Amino acid sequence: MQDIPPENYALYTAAAGTCPGLDWTVLAAIGKVESDHGRSPLDGVTSGTNPAGARGPMQFLQPTFDEVTTEHPPPPGGAQPPSPYNLHDATYAAAAYLCDSGARTGEDLPGALFAYNHADWYVADVLTQAAQYQSTTTIGGDNDTTPAALQAINYAQGQLGLPYLWGGDGPTAGEDGFDCSGLTRAAYEAADITLPRVAQDQYNAGPHIPEDQLQPGDLVFYGTPDEIHHVGLYIGADQMIHAPRTGELIQIAPYRYAGDDFAGATRPSASPA
């Protein structure tokens, strides 16, 4: 959190309050990913545009910014007329855009982020950064995301869009895709942590973590303790990366959903399984 300038922090928290269910860390993560909170020396941050035509600390296209601020005028304190280069205006515009795109009450945060920037890697980067900010501001307990967990998440991000493949262990094994436990095993293998191959054994390996203590990098399981049928990699902000089923791609999705059979979570450690 020390890398967030005080002015930015105040605006992220205030603007998030205009959208029920939008956490300030999501806006902070966008600010970090897009422009290092307005400090990037690249074209388009304080003047001009980047190669795609985006501008300002939250990297808006001018027509999009104009449309958003016309429908949702920023509160007093910004430029007149509103400017995408103005931190106040850009932050409130980002909150409004996300809210209109599915972030309200958390109904579809990944979809809202994809609307903001049409790339799966971008969605994953923002959610991971938001989770890091959350972990450093949560009161009580050990909430630091470990380097191994971040390595596992980064690996899983790199597999987004690959197909689900029953029994699949991914490209390094000469296969086109992963199944659910193949993905989680490979993710932690990239962090030099060995997990069992199948979801049931990964669940049994533990250690088990209460749901209210979930941290990025934890594994989330579905089924019953004796009949686990699915596993995903929690990345924060109530989202996971997982390989869902035949015919679908590795994707980001809420880890809890209507009708789910969530069975619990584990936190892989450096101890061999």
Q: Is the residue at 218 inside a domain?
A: yes
Kindly report the CATH number assigned to the domain that includes residue 195. Answer: 3.90.1720.10
DSSP 258: T
Give me the pLDDT at residue 270, please.
62
The residue out of 114, 138, 162 marking a domain boundary is 138
Alpha helices in the chain (DSSP H): 6-16, 24-35, 62-71, 87-98, 109-116, 120-137, 147-157, 180-189, 199-205
- Both 193 and 245 in a single domain? yes
pTM here? 0.65
The residue out of 138, 168, 191 marking a domain boundary is 138
140 pLDDT more than 50 = no
Q: pLDDT tier at 248 (50, 70, 90 boundaries)?
A: very high
199 pLDDT more than 70 = yes
Give me the pLDDT at residue 237, please.
72
Percent of the chain scoring above 90 in pLDDT: 69
User: For residue range 223-243, what is the model confidence (pLDDT) as tens digits?
Assistant: 999 999 999 999 877 889 999
256 pLDDT more than 60 = yes
Least confident of 68-72, 109-113, 268-272: 268-272
214 pLDDT more than 80 = yes
- Both 121 and 59 in a single domain? yes
The residue out of 104, 138, 172 marking a domain boundary is 138
Burial of 213 (0-12, 13-18, 19+ CB in 10 A): middle
Residue 126 structure tokens: 């923002």
Task: Look over the chain and give the mean of its residue pLDDT values, rounded to a whole number.
Answer: 90
Q: pLDDT tier at 144 (50, 70, 90 boundaries)?
A: low
Q: What is the mean pLDDT of residues 115-124?
A: 93
- Both 176 and 92 in a single domain? no
Q: What is the mean pLDDT of residues 187-206?
A: 96
- Both 185 and 227 in a single domain? yes
Q: Is the residue at 88 inside a domain?
A: yes
- Both 205 and 87 in a single domain? no
- H-run or E-run covering 34: helix 24-35
- Both 92 and 170 in a single domain? no
Name the residue range of residue 109's domain.
6-138
Q: What is the mean pLDDT of residues 102-123?
A: 90
Q: Is the residue at 271 inside a domain?
A: no
User: For residue range 76-103, what is the model confidence (pLDDT) as tens digits?
Assistant: 889 999 999 999 999 999 999 999 999 9
Burial of 123 (0-12, 13-18, 19+ CB in 10 A): buried
- Both 76 and 102 in a single domain? yes
Neighbour tally for 200: CB within 10 Å: 18
Residue 84 structure tokens: 């995408």
- Both 241 and 217 in a single domain? yes
Query: If phi over 0 gives left and psi between -120 and 50 gives alpha, with beta otherwise, what is residue 101?
Result: alpha
- Both 176 and 197 in a single domain? yes
Overall number of domains in the chain: 2
Neighbour tally for 267: CB within 10 Å: 17
- Both 103 and 162 in a single domain? no
194 pLDDT more than 90 = yes
